[in-house]
Amino acid sequence: MKSIFIGKKKVNYGLRPFIVAEAGVNHNARLDLALQLIDAAAYAGADAVKFQTFRPNQVVTAAGEMADYQKRNLGKSESQLAMVKKLELAEKHWPKLVERAKERGIIFFSTPHGHIDSADYLQQKLKVPAFKFGSGDLTNIPLLEHVAKFKKPMILGTGMADLEEVKEAVEAIKKAGNSQIVVLHCTTDYPLAPENVNLRAMQTMMRELGVLVGYSDHTLGPQTAVMATAMGACMIEKHLTLDNNLPGPDHVASMEPMEFKEMVKQIEKAAAILGSSQKKLLKCEKQYVSVARKSLVTANKVKKGEKFTLKNLTVKRPGNGLLPKRLKEVVGKRATKAIPKDTVLTEEMIG
């Protein structure tokens, strides 16, 4: 699979997954919290921090209802538009976030939520290196086609979708001239119950789509993200909050900085454990070759000129002599010198 680059970071299989800290709307429309989220993402070891950029009236109608989890987490019911308006970060603040991310050495990008105006702002004003699309925009083909023309990596959430819908989105992007695609398997629920994760669907998409595939995690704790890493995910996305007790729709299903940092460590360990696909002698094993492997050894004294037989040869450690697989080759040949009993055979002893 061809690698893609987000900033200077390479994304592909066989590497430590690219880790995205999804700050989303966990800033609660406050600049100070948004800046702290960037600091926290950098502290935790994420490769990128991602927000959501939108204009409320372009996202939802006045009749749009809140999701059940939003009602539950907020402890009240209001229109989705009213909720979204309370989560909009002022446009004047966005350049400050980009600058803070640069200072902290972390990649910044955002989700253009639902409308090309937000996408154009991210492209033209903030010059983000990549675009992430929430699951709700997987079927928003006009938006995907518009952003595809920017020729930048596009990351697609796939919650609520079947395989054909994912294929349709991928093909639309490719036809618009962009093959830099990462598809993220996810299930839309917050927090997500283990029985609804279905990580095997991620592997199905790896086989079927011909693009890079990762995982966007809505479960509690690090376990699912680590398992997704072990199953080959090239990217892991996880919600980040400064405090699970903050008011807002997503804080409850997000990770606090210390836990996020621990998750990153576990992902890195899992990636290291996976290693490469090559089966070969590793550097750490070389010291054990002669100690653990075996060689052809004389079972008793062998005179000079005497033939080697199955009776005067055996196999023992150490493994610094002729390999046991050469037994049939050696039998019938003559010793070039007298060889004591229990001696490891070497090449010059064989005539």
For the stretch 179-189, pLDDT in tens is 999 999 999 99
Three-state DSSP class for residue 44:
helix
Could you give the angle at the alpha carbon of 239 between the alpha carbons of 237 and 245, nearest 5°?
165
Give the pLDDT score at 166: 99
CA nearest to 41, candidates 192, 174, 176, 240? 240
DSSP 269: H
54 and 109 Cβ atoms separated by less than 8 Å: no
CATH topology of domain 15-274: TIM Barrel (3.20.20)
| b/e burial code for range 252-269 (CB count within 10 A of at least 16 → b) | bbbbbbebbbebbeebbe
Three-state secondary structure string covering 99-160? HHHHHHCCEEEEEECCCHHHHHHHHHHHCCCCEEECHHHCCCHHHHHHHHCCCCCEEEECCC
Give the pLDDT score at 58: 87
Give the pLDDT score at 113: 86
- Dump pLDDT digits (tens) for 257-291: 999 999 999 999 999 999 988 999 999 999 999 99
- Which helix (H) or strand (E) element contains residue 51? strand 48-53
Domains 15-274 and 283-349 share a fold: no
Low-confidence residues in the chain, pLDDT < 50: none
Three-state DSSP class for residue 91:
helix
Give the pLDDT score at 72: 74
What are the structural domain ranges in the chain?
A: 15-274, 283-349
CA distance 350 to 322: 10
- Dump pLDDT digits (tens) for 321-336: 999 999 999 999 999 9
212 and 181 Cβ atoms separated by less than 8 Å: yes
Instruction: Give domain 283-349's CATH number out of 3.90.1210.10, 3.20.20.140, 3.90.850.10, 3.30.70.20.
Output: 3.90.1210.10
